[in-house]
Structure 1
């Protein structure tokens, strides 16, 4: 992983360095900021390889950014760009008087060799993830994408939710982002489907939909694991799929929905037991979605080889002592 921060530079040098090294050289864009605001500029950046793609994270002071015809000629890139605007809304002009408003949380997708100009709506900075993916015919399933300008995917569309769930999974821990290399093609194909660039009835699209729905189901599961009443039916209903389809999503993983949920609850409880020693074991168990203390003790000991009380004295590891496949189902 490549990381950079302007903190090590003199205040008067920070913006110019960001413009030249991060903007023009790395991304092939033009960055502009009023001169009287440059001394207060700050920015942080990281780049992580995810297969052949590159995942970038940026947090910086607000500025205007554009990719002009001269930028494209200077730094051409036959790649697709999938961006997640975490914070920092603004207006994006993609030419021919086409201006769209990009809100917090929006996903923007398009070809990197097309011009745009973005202007922030606020002055309190931005947080942003960008996935740059080299184009191959296999990746885009032969679709024409050179004329696909960067546009925000429809916020309330089911396909956007699937792409977003995969993006959020990838960026949850950047040290592990490389593990999601196999999902990059799925994200691109779902975004192309959302843009109407590929046909839905292709094996590759079916595989992408399966991966996207699995990530979305897991996201709901992790979000609501504290609810003892969380059921597969509730997750299926939220995703707009059948209960049978939901269970089919988990079959290839080797863990059923119930076991995945129990494993997530146990992991949350394991961390809380060590970090929140002022809370009782029973309180932590209930807050992590267990509705039976006896069941909690049983599955915890079966998975970690220790009691919840013993776990309060030992820092949690990334994985339990036993394999995830040995996690018992809480019933």
Structure 2
């Protein structure tokens, strides 16, 4: 394990030291920094597949330009977990705001700008796979949660691990990172409402049948704030919460048609409703009839269609 710090260095040389020693693929915008106040520290561990970084610093602006990408042909992927602080990463004309708990990926083959406030990140650096990676925030599910938990544990336990244990733990973290990326869970949440709206609708459709799914859990799933959800729906005909209930009702309607013998209460529960009376009331308001009446009407319509076909 290697530890690097700006402590003990003259204030005037800290940014240059950090740029040359740690942020080798990034350029620091020295004009934007308070040189006298800058402090940073890095704990680095190696595995067979790559490295683990535990990085702490005060506010800093960095950039990796197209010219820099062409010059050093950086072939590395960084997958990091924001432990503390907030950041904004710019990828072309897109911006991704990061907060504690977010996991994101950076492909050093692509230009990037970042404004890190006082922050701490833990992450892994490794060689990319055969295909280019999307760049942005990763949805907090599945392998991403495993990666986040492992990174935190590794950061906390590193001083008590042997060199062999450290290397093995780093390689496990990289395996989790590769698994997360291969699952296609990257979310490129931009500031423009159409992109956020598309991600919102996709997530609602996927999770609306969970009775615990709400505006709060939707925000967590997407890695954005509730305010971002509300802004995306500002000009929509219904609110975010109403969109979740509408998706549940549409799920129930489809189940009533697909499973004509399923009890109404079971259909309600499988669609995200815990109260059948509330389900009946909302279904009637949406479709003009109770669930049982809707099912009976569909049966009669299908029966009439069959008789017409047999008569023809």
TM-score by length of 1: 0.50
Match of residue 104, structure 1, among 100, 108, 111: 100
Q: Deviations over 1:72-111 (max 9, x none)?
A: 233323222111111121211111x221111112111242
| Alpha-carbon distance change, 60 to 115 in structure 1, aligned in 2, over 3 angstroms | same
CA contact (8 A) 1:109 1:191 kept: no
Unaligned runs of 5+ in 1: 198-331
The residue aligned with 1:307 is none
RMSD: 2.3
**Residues 182/39 of structure 1: CA separation in 2 closer, same or farther (3 Å cut):** closer
Which residue in 2 is equivalent to 1:189?
178
Secondary structure of 1:7's partner? coil
In structure 1, the partner of 2:197 is: none
Which one is further off, 159-168 or 188-197? 188-197
Q: Report the Cα offset of residue 153 of structure 1.
A: 0.5
1:119-145 Cα shifts (integer Å, max 9, x gaps)? 23x4xx11112311123xxxx4xx52x
1:117 alignment partner in structure 2: 113
Q: Is the 8 A contact 2:124 2:174 kept in 1?
A: no
- Gap regions ≥5 residues in structure 2: 187-312
Measured after TM superposition, the shift of residue 36 of structure 1 is: 6.8
- The answer to whether the 8 Å contact 1:83/1:131 transfers is yes
Match of 1:16 in 2: 16
CA distance in 1, matches of 2:55, 2:73: 21
Q: Counterpart of 2:48? A: 51
Task: Provide the rounded CA distance (Å) in 1 between the counterparts of 2:90 and 2:32.
Answer: 23
Report SS of the residue matched to 2:100. coil
| Pair 1:167 & 2:163 matched | no
Among candidates 106, 110, 135, match of residue 150 of structure 1: 135
Aligned residue pair count: 181
Deviation at 1:16, TM superposition (A): 2.2
- Whole-angstrom distance in 2 between the partners of 1:161 and 1:35: 34
When Rg is computed on C-alpha atoms for both structures, the one with the higher figure is: 2
TM-score, normalising length from structure 2? Answer: 0.53
Q: Deviations over 1:141-187 (max 9, x none)?
A: xx52x2x24311113x3332122122223222224332314414531
* Partner residue, 1:132: 125
Q: Cα distance 1:173–1:196, how it changes in 2: closer, same or farther (>3 A)? A: closer
Rate the CA distance shift 1:168–1:194 in 2: closer, same or farther, 3 A.
Answer: farther
Distance change in 2, residues 1:194/1:110 (3 Å) = farther
Q: 2:211 maps to which residue?
A: none
